[in-house]
Chains A and B, each alone.
Chain A
Amino acid sequence: MQIDKIKTIINADLITMRGSKKSNLLLAAVTGCICIFGAFLVSPLVGSYLPLVTGLLIVPLLFQNEQRYHCDKLYCLLPVTRRDVVNARYLFTAALNLVTCLSNFAVTLVSYKFKVYLKVIGDDNDILDKLTAALSSSLSKTGVIVVTCFAMNALSFIMCSSILRNYFKNPESIGVNVSLSKSKKLKKSDYVGLGFTIVIMIFFLSIMTGQISIAPAIAVIAMVIGQLASVGDGFMLCFLLLFISAAETLFQYFCTLIEYTDKEM
């Protein structure tokens, strides 16, 4: 792996990202502000969802222009191997995600420290209190916040690496150039995905209307997770979450290496 090549590829990606006025950067900024304000005005737990948003948006933000203008084929001409491209992009997205997660973690802890949200929503409406009570005191409030942040950060890394792998497989998967006017025959996997989505929607509607009682199931799962989390006030669970997210990111990277190397451009 050559560091200079990686830096060059990253620079090229940044230039491509800034190459158009149409950008989801505004969307990302607005969402980020909502989460940060939510952390201070509603609950620190609201702010901990920001990594989920960044995990979803980092790859589209970085590569939407590349996908729109088909710049991905440019790397066939440049003196870089496909391995270098994969390495550079995984390193860059992971670093970006890490900075976002760490910043968000700091914001969440600051919000919890100063508790401005309690003045806004009142002491009786603290979501953190209810969640801590639901976990039957196996975690302190600080433990709940830390575990939630780590869980969201882990999920963010997993989503980001998965989306990046999908992008390498099929650049159109980030959906910038989707046009309803173009007749596009749906593939079998599209039908499967559609069916799956409908089943999930029916499932959630059933839960919301009380047709399926999920509270007892959630109670058992919450108790089991609570017990695992109780070790060191969440330390072991956080460590496991970190390990799983790192392992999943490495796995996605490994699969991308194989798939992108074999891909016909």
Chain B
Amino acid sequence: MKNTIKRISAALCAAVLMTGSSASAFADEVKKEEIILPSGMTLREFTKELEEYSDQCISGDIESTEEGSVSVGLFRGDEVIYTGYFGYTDYKENTPTDENCVYEWGSISKTLIWVSAMQLWEEGKLDLERDVREYLPEGFFQHLSYDEPITMLNLMNHNAGWCETTRAIWYTDSETIPPLKEALQCIEPAQVHRPGEVVAYSNYGAAVAGCVIECVSGMDYGEYVSQNIFEPLGLEHTSIMPDHSDDQWVYERRRQMKSVSVGGLSGYENGHQLKYAGAYPAGAATGTLADLITYGQALVSDEAPLFKSPETQQAMFTATDSYADSDVPVNMHGFFCFERGVRTYGHSGATPFGQANLEFDPETKVGAVVMQNEGLSSGWILGGVYPLVFGNLQADKYGSRQGSADLTGRHFVVSRAPHKGMLKFIPLLQTVQFTHEFDEMGGGLLQMSNGDEAAVMGVRTLSDGRTLIESTSVDVVSDSFYLPKLLLFTFYLLVAVTASYMLRIRLKLRRAHRDTAVIGSALSGAGHAARFVSVLSMLSSFVIYYKYFGGIPLSAGTVIGVIQMVCGGVCAVSAAGSAVTLIKGRKSRLAFILCVLNIAANILTIAAILFYELYRFGGC
């Protein structure tokens, strides 16, 4: 009897213990789901929103799915409160996304440069306000236009004044990737703004900062980051080198990942899409969701594991650039500030083969990470997660409206564009026009409201009188001469179209055994051909620019540049020939008109070739 009672008691105790531990685990789960995010939404609601979206919009059929492979993670301090894996990494093999998927960080890699810079600053080895030329090899920059110093702070704020390079920055063969310094000297863009004036997001500028890290530390940049960031944080599944040679696990995994483009009219897989960034500090990091979460957690930790003292991390998250004269920060030593329901810090990243976002609220220490294998497009998750987690900027956050700013009817040119070299016409095609008035909130801060939600920008006047509109990472500058430039470009295209028809008419007359001299001499025919070929070359440079994801290889650029120079020369000779014909005396009214039109068309083409620098294959 006693034994029976003992057995029953033991069984009851065991049952209570088991239920208790299950109940405790269950209680932890319930507690976690009731976590309130900075937006006011609970984690349970957030999870439900993502799951509903996934059920409706994500499938194994690449033609109909709205997302490729997407991984989402939320953390709060040291705790990872949510991870979600959606979609497939390989639609043919039906391989679902999981925790072992690797994605490209894109420009989030730049934050590794800024953390490295702050580490060196902490050690007293790097002065953020000193001209970086004092750290770099003699004669490093060949195309500077201004004497003002370029500091590490300018590089962090992306306001050193460089425009986009016209040279291709991706290599297709990992064996041909040059050392960092050499790669940068191949792609140096023109400096088109005075340092400190205009923010133009610059991969080149960030990579130069990586070069400074090399020079100051005496180590290769990749080696420095591995030793001083990856190893201390235990990021074992992240690589920094462009060919992933520093992490064998990432190397193999990346070669299993396929990039996709989904949504829109149809979806397709781009294959493994292995291309290598020469300026690799600006965007080559590749790794898992878990590693990027760990990195984000380090940035919100009060213990600041990336630095010797927490004060350095606090100093890193102080404003280095603000909207106009307001105290609303834009940039904090390379980390961008996002005005949401709460102010977040972070960085986004995009390569042609993947995108990623990292944002965190330093007050609540909640952070969100999204990574995906779509480079050129994205579904809802990449941008939609952040308003759910952090809320939307409320219209009354910065006080009441003090006036209105009417920027409508004006054309603004994007600062992050090639403003020199043979792609100088591209900013013309990317102008910004505002269709609504803004609210002035004081100190140059502008706000655009839509009901309760808002977005902010800054407005300043540059030293040359142009108006500058500041946003998070790229400013737009007013262009009073936009319409004349557009007209020149449009007429350049139109005279080429006309030239093609003149050539066809000439051919038709010849086949019909009629006198072709009625529509001009052979020289004018050569002029027609030159104008047509010039526009074809310009369009091909445009296609190559996009094919190589923003840049033209030197070989292609040289060929196009030489063709443009030859076309310009032929146009000049043709115009001269028509001028001589006119001087000699007109043969008929038709011949006179055609000569005049020929001269005008050739001069227009030469003007376009010179103004848009279509011949400039050397970059800048």
A157–chain B nearest beta-carbon distance, Å: 14
Task: Check if A262 sits within 8 Å of B512, measured CB to CB.
Answer: yes
Task: Check if A258 sits within 8 Å of B501, measured CB to CB.
Answer: no
B260–chain A nearest beta-carbon distance, Å: 11
Nearest to A229 among chain B residues (CB) is B429
Q: Which of B431, B498, B542 contacts A231 (CB 8 A)?
A: B431
A216 to B264, CA, bound (A): 12
Q: Which residues on the B side are within 8 Å of A248 (C-beta)?
A: 501
Q: Which residues on the A side are within 8 Å of B431 (C-beta)?
A: 231
Task: Check if B543 sits within 8 Å of A213, measured CB to CB.
Answer: no
Task: Check if B546 sits within 8 Å of A258, measured CB to CB.
Answer: no
A85 to B152, CA, bound (A): 76
A262 to B264, CA, bound (A): 52
A255 within 8 A of B: yes
A231 to B539, CA, bound (A): 16
B268 within 8 A of A: yes
B533 within 8 A of A: no
Q: Which of B265, B429, B497 contacts A227 (CB 8 A)?
A: B429
A243 within 8 A of B: yes
A202 within 8 A of B: no
Q: List 27 A-B contacts (CB under 8 A).
A: A130-B264, A130-B265, A133-B263, A134-B265, A136-B377, A213-B268, A215-B261, A215-B268, A216-B261, A216-B268, A219-B261, A220-B546, A223-B546, A224-B539, A224-B542, A227-B426, A227-B430, A230-B430, A231-B429, A236-B490, A240-B490, A243-B494, A243-B497, A251-B501, A251-B504, A259-B512, A262-B512
B250–chain A nearest beta-carbon distance, Å: 26
A215 to B547, CA, bound (A): 14
Task: Check if B493 sits within 8 Å of A240, measured CB to CB.
Answer: yes
Q: Which residues on the B side are within 8 Å of A130 (C-beta)?
A: 264-265
Q: Which residues on the A side are within 8 Å of B263 (C-beta)?
A: 133
Task: Check if B505 sits within 8 Å of A215, measured CB to CB.
Answer: no
Q: Which residues on the B side are within 8 Å of A133 (C-beta)?
A: 263-264
Interface residues as binary, A226-245 with B (CB distance below 8 Å gives 1, 0 otherwise) = 01101110001001100110
B486 within 8 A of A: yes
Q: Which of B266, B498, B539 contacts A247 (CB 8 A)?
A: B498
A110 within 8 A of B: no
A239 to B489, CA, bound (A): 13
Q: Which of B267, B505, B542 contacts A251 (CB 8 A)?
A: B505
Task: Check if B429 sits within 8 Å of A247, measured CB to CB.
Answer: no
A201 within 8 A of B: no
A131 within 8 A of B: yes
B317–chain A nearest beta-carbon distance, Å: 32
Task: Check if B264 sits within 8 Å of A134, measured CB to CB.
Answer: yes
Nearest to B377 among chain A residues (CB) is A136
Q: Which residues on the A side are within 8 Å of B430 (C-beta)?
A: 227, 230
A254 to B431, CA, bound (A): 39
Instruction: Tell me the A residues contacting B by CB distance below 8 Å.
Output: 130-131, 133-134, 136, 213, 215-216, 218-220, 223-224, 227-228, 230-232, 236, 239-240, 243-244, 247-248, 250-251, 254-255, 258-259, 262
Given A243-B494, A258-B514, A224 contacting B546 (CB threshold 8 A): yes
State the total of A-B contacts with C-beta under 8 angstroms.
66
Q: Which residues on the B side are within 8 Å of A228 (C-beta)?
A: 429
A28–chain B nearest beta-carbon distance, Å: 30
Q: Which of B376, B428, B509 contacts A258 (CB 8 A)?
A: B509
Q: Which residues on the B side are within 8 Å of A250 (C-beta)?
A: 501
Given A130-B264, A216-B270, A230-B430, A247 contacting B497 (CB threshold 8 A): yes
B508 within 8 A of A: yes
Q: Which of B281-296 contact A (CB under 8 A)?
A: none
A52 to B582, CA, bound (A): 44
Task: Check if A247 sits within 8 Å of B501, measured CB to CB.
Answer: yes
Instruction: Tell me the B residues contacting A by CB distance below 8 Å.
Output: 261, 263-268, 270, 376-377, 426, 428-431, 486, 490, 493-494, 497-498, 501, 504-505, 508-509, 512, 514, 539, 542-543, 546-547
Q: Which residues on the B side are within 8 Å of A213 (C-beta)?
A: 268
B159–chain A nearest beta-carbon distance, Å: 26
Q: Which residues on the B side are within 8 Å of A231 (C-beta)?
A: 428-429, 431, 486
B303–chain A nearest beta-carbon distance, Å: 43
User: 3 tightest CB-CB pairs across the interface, nearest first?
Assistant: A134-B264, A215-B268, A227-B429
A232–chain B nearest beta-carbon distance, Å: 8
Task: Check if B494 sits within 8 Å of A258, measured CB to CB.
Answer: no
Q: Which residues on the A side are within 8 Å of B508 (C-beta)?
A: 254-255, 258
Q: Which residues on the A side are within 8 Å of B490 (C-beta)?
A: 236, 239-240
Q: Which residues on the B side are within 8 Å of A230 (C-beta)?
A: 429-430
Nearest to A226 among chain B residues (CB) is B429
Q: Which residues on the A side are within 8 Å of B514 (C-beta)?
A: 258
Q: Which residues on the A side are within 8 Å of B265 (C-beta)?
A: 130-131, 134, 218
Nearest to A233 among chain B residues (CB) is B433
Nearest to B270 among chain A residues (CB) is A216
Q: Which residues on the A side are within 8 Å of B543 (C-beta)?
A: 220, 224
Task: Check if A240 sits within 8 Å of B497, measured CB to CB.
Answer: yes
A126–chain B nearest beta-carbon distance, Å: 13
A60 to B508, CA, bound (A): 26
Q: Which residues on the A side are within 8 Å of B539 (C-beta)?
A: 224
B492–chain A nearest beta-carbon distance, Å: 11
A212–chain B nearest beta-carbon distance, Å: 12
B346–chain A nearest beta-carbon distance, Å: 23
A232-B486, A250-B501 are known; give 6 further A-B pairs, CB within 8 A: A130-B264, A220-B543, A223-B546, A231-B431, A243-B494, A251-B501
Task: Check if A240 sits within 8 Å of B264, measured CB to CB.
Answer: no
Chain A CB within 10 Å, residue with most, of B264, B267, B505, B509 = B264
Nearest to A228 among chain B residues (CB) is B429
Nearest to A240 among chain B residues (CB) is B493
A244 to B497, CA, bound (A): 7
Q: Which residues on the A side are within 8 Å of B377 (C-beta)?
A: 136
A215–chain B nearest beta-carbon distance, Å: 4
A236 to B542, CA, bound (A): 17
Nearest to B269 among chain A residues (CB) is A213
Q: Which residues on the A side are within 8 Å of B546 (C-beta)?
A: 220, 223-224
Task: Check if A240 sits within 8 Å of B494, measured CB to CB.
Answer: yes
A259 to B512, CA, bound (A): 8
A78–chain B nearest beta-carbon distance, Å: 25
A240 to B535, CA, bound (A): 13
Nearest to A127 among chain B residues (CB) is B265
A25 to B326, CA, bound (A): 69
Q: Which residues on the B side are within 8 Å of A240 (C-beta)?
A: 490, 493-494, 497
Q: Which residues on the A side are within 8 Å of B493 (C-beta)?
A: 240
